[in-house]
């Protein structure tokens, strides 16, 4: 059995660099190559400087596949299927058996895309890992272990509220709903929905055990539709929310049935790109009968203070916290964000699973399941009704559904806040 694997990454932007930091804590998963339209050289230099292996800049996916054991898709959402098709062709032409395939969230922008990703992965016969870091957060795992006995005696969780909020994404393509697949629901509700469902799943059962039966949701444009902010967004990203708006706030409730008890349990998600506070906040609250837990990623044991006068010398506020909005005053600093958010443990989980030749805790099938729930939320918001996921007509329509927002027709759903 292999104990060390060589990782080739596609994409060298924000998330690839986060994974690069996390990778310093996963010594047996060594980054051997990178293929990206931009940033590959810098990424390779940084990776090689970590001192474990030469990271090669690959000019083609074929070369990346030839020289690595595991491939990770860290490129934008709109490139997923095409890059995966190229990868499958390279694998087949080469007769190569990969040890594993990784894909960052979301697996697809629609159910059809996510399903295609699963089919393509299956054609390579490689195990898969769907990267949803928030399930791997140490705080989540620790809380579940602490409350395990209570789950067994009092019964499992019944309600989980999970939220991810920040002031808005870093790259223009995220804001363009026709490229990204929507707004904040497509970008971030996939995290919150997946994390909440995972916590709700009774201990001892695999992710996907609970059966979603109903979805309610709302998508709204609260900040970035206002004239001042629309103009700022257009100037900064080239995306015009008078023409193709996307939601900057989304919230919803998903009801699940426990197939062994018939009991109903619920998750509630809230996601925003208009959270104008310190920076990224992940917050979770889980309730079981007579017990519960709370996580707030903005609470840190480390706070620093920088006065106005001293702030002039401060360069990089984001070194303190992802999507940080301030560089002076009393600041929350997270000394190890990649570990806090679960990136380290999701890499460890994938490494272990691939060495044992099976899927990671979360497979691409789970990614498809989460895409389905996100699309159901868009449909529920668009049709302003609670979606019954046990209704065959609804599930059939979802298979080919593409939200109005992702088609660039967001004004039909969102209107504009003027
Ligand atoms: N887990 C998380 O919390 C998290 C955070 C951020 C992003 N993501 C996901 O990671 C993915 C990448 O996001 P990002 O923020 O790193 O984006 P980014 O725009 O910062 O970086 C994208 C990288 O992919 C490269 N790229 C673009 N098109 C390509 C192509 N056709 N072939 C090869 N390379 C190409 C770019 O040159 C760049 O290096 C997205 O799917 C996003 O949803 C996840």
Indicate if the pLDDT at residue 418 is higher than 60.
no
Nearest to 106 by CA among 353, 320, 288, 374: 374
Residue 47: name the closest of 62, 78, 68, 77 by CA. 68
Q: Report how far residue 218's alpha carbon sits from residue 385's, in angstroms, rounded to the nearest whole number.
A: 10
Angle at alpha carbon of residue 207, lines to 203 and 212, rounded to 5°: 105
| C-alpha of residue 282 to centroid of ligand 1, in Å | 21
| pLDDT, mean of residues 143-164 | 95
The CATH number covering residue 33 comes to 3.40.50.720
> Is residue 321's pLDDT more than 80?
no
β strands within 235-308, DSSP E: 249-257, 264-272, 281-288, 291-296, 303-306
Report yes or no on 39 lying in a domain: yes
pLDDT band at 314 (very low <50, low <70, confident <90, very high): low
Give the residues surrounding ligand 1 with Cβ less than 6 Å away: 10-16, 35-39, 74-77, 79, 83, 104-105, 133, 171
Q: How far apart are CA 374 and CA 79, in angstroms?
A: 19
Residue 395 has pLDDT above 80, yes or no: yes
pLDDT in tens, 199-213: 999 999 999 999 999
* Full residue range of the structural domain in which residue 234 is found: 135-300+371-414
Residue of 124, 194, 134, 120 lying closest to 371 (CA atoms): 194
- What pLDDT was estimated at residue 312? 66
Atom of ligand 1 nearest to the CA of 13: 21
pLDDT value of residue 317 = 65
Phi, psi of 348 (to 5 degrees): -60, -40
Q: Which atom of ligand 1 is nearest to the CA of 73?
A: 11
Contact status, residue 164 vs residue 139, Cβ threshold 8 Å: no
Q: What is the mean pLDDT of the chain?
A: 95
**Domain assignment present for 319:** no
Together in a domain, 67 and 126: yes
Percentage of the chain surpassing pLDDT 70?
97
Do 191 and 122 share a domain, yes or no? no
Give the CA radius of gyration of the chain: 21
Residues 158 and 236 grouped into a single domain:
yes
Average pLDDT over residues 88-96: 94
Q: Using the atom order of ligand 1, give the atom closest to the CA of residue 173.
A: 19
Indicate whether 88 belongs to any domain.
Answer: yes
Does residue 78 share a domain with residue 227?
no
Pairing of strands 249-257, 211-220: antiparallel
pTM, to two decimals:
0.96
CATH number reported for the structural domain that contains residue 149 in this entry: 3.30.360.10
Q: ∠ at Cα 371 (160, 280), nearest 5°? A: 55
* pLDDT score, position 107: 98
Tell me, yes or no, whether 48 lies in a domain.
yes
81 CA → ligand 1 middle, Å = 14
Query: pLDDT value at position 417?
Result: 53
The DSSP code for 78 is G
Q: Assess whether 96 and 13 both reside in one domain.
A: yes
């Amino acid at each position: 059995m292999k104990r060390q694997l060589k990782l080739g990454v596609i994409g060298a932007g924000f998330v690839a660099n986060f994974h690069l930091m996390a990778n310093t804590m996963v010594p047996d998963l060594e980054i051997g190559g990178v293929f990206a339209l931009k940033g590959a050289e810098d990424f390779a230099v940084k990776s090689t400087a970590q001192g474990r292996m030469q990271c090669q800049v690959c000019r083609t996916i074929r070369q990346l596949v030839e020289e690595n054991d595991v491939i990770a898709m860290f490129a934008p959402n709109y490139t997923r299927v095409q890059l995966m098709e190229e990868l499958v062709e390279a694998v087949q032409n080469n007769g190569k058996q990969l040890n594993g395939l990784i894909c960052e969230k979301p697996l697809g922008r629609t159910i059809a895309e996510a399903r295609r990703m699963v089919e393509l992965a299956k054609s390579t016969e490689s195990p898969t890992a769907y990267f949803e870091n928030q399930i791997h957060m140490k705080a989540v795992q620790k809380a579940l272990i602490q409350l395990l006995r209570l789950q067994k005696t009092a019964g499992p969780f019944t309600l989980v509220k999970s939220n991810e909020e920040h002031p808005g994404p870093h790259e223009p393509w995220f804001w363009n709903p026709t490229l990204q697949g929507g707004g904040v629901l497509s970008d971030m509700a996939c995290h919150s929905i997946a994390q909440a469902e995972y916590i709700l799943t009774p201990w001892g059962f695999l992710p996907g055990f609970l059966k979603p039966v109903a979805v309610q949701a709302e998508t709204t444009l609260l900040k970035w539709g206002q004239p001042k902010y629309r103009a700022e967004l257009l100037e900064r990203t080239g995306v015009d929310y008078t023409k193709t708006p996307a939601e900057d706030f989304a919230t919803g409730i998903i009801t699940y049935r426990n197939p062994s008890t018939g009991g109903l349990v619920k998750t509630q998600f809230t996601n925003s790109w208009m959270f104008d506070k310190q920076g990224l906040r992940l917050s979770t609250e889980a309730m079981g009968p007579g017990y519960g837990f709370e996580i707030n990623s903005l609470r840190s044991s480390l706070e620093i203070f920088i006065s106005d006068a001293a702030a002039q010398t401060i360069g990089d506020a984001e070194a303190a916290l992802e999507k940080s909005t301030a560089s002076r005053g009393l600041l929350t600093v997270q000394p190890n964000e990649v570990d806090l958010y679960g990136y380290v443990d999701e890499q460890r989980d994938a490494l272990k699973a691939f060495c044992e030749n099976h899927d990671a805790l979360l497979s691409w099938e789970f990614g498809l399941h989460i895409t389905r729930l996100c699309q159901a939320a868009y449909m529920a918001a668009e049709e302003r009704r609670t979606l019954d996921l046990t209704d065959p007509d609804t599930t059939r329509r979802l298979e080919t559904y593409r939200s109005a927002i992702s088609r660039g027709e967001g004004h039909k759903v969102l209107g504009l806040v003027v």
